Amino acid sequence: MFDYSKLFDLTGKKALVVGAGSGIGEAAALGLAAHGAHVICGDLNVDGAQKVVDAIKSAGGSGEALAFDLRDGEAVAKIVGDMKDLDVLVSTPAINVRKKLLDMSEEEFDRVLSLNLKGTFRLITAAGRNMKERGKGSIIAFASIRAQTVEPGQGVYAATKAGVLQMCRTLAAELGQYGVRVNAIGPGVVDTPLTAPIAANKEWYSAYANKSALGRWAKPHEMAGAVVYLASDAGSFATGTLTIVDGGWTAVDGRFTPPL
């Protein structure tokens, strides 16, 4: 008989969380560690990653910090390629340039695509090669509600997140026969360093809060449940999906035009 008490148990699993130094990545790392995983906290900000590791260890968990630059293709291939026993990958890094498309420069366009889309591609394919060889694993990439719905000033960011979603779906189709699951998570508005410029504008902040059914922003820890679900046996039949965690944002009509 299946042991339902171990649905979310990650004991003995090794997870790499990229972007673990703050925000959603930090929450993902803490959530995975709390359920038994050994978590490698990768981030460009190694000091931030180490603070998360310290928090994991102080709670009785297991983890280590790792300098990780998603923009360095050779380093990503080498670091992830050497992780032959990786069970779970979580990719969270992203940047945004909030401008109308007619005002967006090619340099800004390339900068957003280079990290959000190309960086994610490097990461999930490097992990996918190892997991294919092992015949198991879970890859989780953070997309966004912007993969499905847009607003003025979010065109390039939305395009990258739609691309992340479609890459995850394609990789899920390609690796399913090898026992590897690939999924995306679509957060709504979350209080993180990425959204700090919005939070600083009271009108903008309130408009976003009121847009969702719950009438507020999410906290980073509210994204951890979806990560643990998709990483664990609880999500063993979930692949190629977009798990929306948006407080009802995409279910509620209405729009706010931000002060670009």
Residue 90 lies in a domain: yes
> What's the whole-number mean pLDDT along residues 60-89?
97
Residue 251 lies in a domain: no
- Say whether 208 is catalytic: no
Which tens digit of pLDDT belongs to each residue from 134-174? 999 999 999 999 999 998 999 999 999 999 999 999 999 99
Identify whether the C-beta of residue 258 lies closer than 8 Å to the C-beta of residue 229.
no
DSSP per position, 169-185: HHHHHHHGGGTEEEEEE
Q: Tell me, what's the pLDDT at 254?
A: 67
* pLDDT of 249 strictly over 70: yes
Residue 22 lies in a domain: yes
With bands split at pLDDT 50, 70 and 90, how would you rate the model's confidence at 260? confident
Number of domains making up the chain: 1
Range of the domain at 74: 4-244
Mean pLDDT computed over every residue of the chain: 96
> What's the whole-number mean pLDDT along residues 73-90?
97
Which tens digit of pLDDT belongs to each residue from 186-229? 999 999 987 888 889 999 999 999 999 999 999 999 999 999 99
- Can you say how many angstroms the Cα of residue 39 is from the centroid of all Cα atoms in its chain? 15
**Backbone angles phi and psi of 38, in degrees to 5:** -85, 120
Q: Which residue is it, tokens 């990560």?
A: 227
Q: Tell me, what's the pLDDT at 117?
A: 98
> What's the whole-number mean pLDDT along residues 44-52?
98
Identify whether the C-beta of residue 238 lies closer than 8 Å to the C-beta of residue 44.
no
Residue 233 lies in a domain: yes
> What's the whole-number mean pLDDT along residues 6-12?
97
Which tens digit of pLDDT belongs to each residue from 91-144? 999 999 999 999 999 999 999 999 999 999 999 999 999 999 999 999 999 999
Marked catalytic residue, from 4, 157, 205, 208: 157
Question: What CATH code is carried by the domain that includes residue 46?
Answer: 3.40.50.720
DSSP per position, 233-258: GGGTT--S-EEEESTTGGGS------
- Can you say how many angstroms the Cα of residue 256 is from the centroid of all Cα atoms in its chain? 25
With bands split at pLDDT 50, 70 and 90, how would you rate the model's confidence at 259? confident
d(CA 259, CA 223): 27
Q: Tell me, what's the pLDDT at 194?
A: 79
Residue 37 lies in a domain: yes
Residue 215 lies in a domain: yes
Residue 249 lies in a domain: no
- How distant, in Å, are the alpha carbons of 40, 219, 225 from that of 209? 33, 12, 21
Q: Tell me, what's the pLDDT at 148?
A: 94
Residue 114 lies in a domain: yes
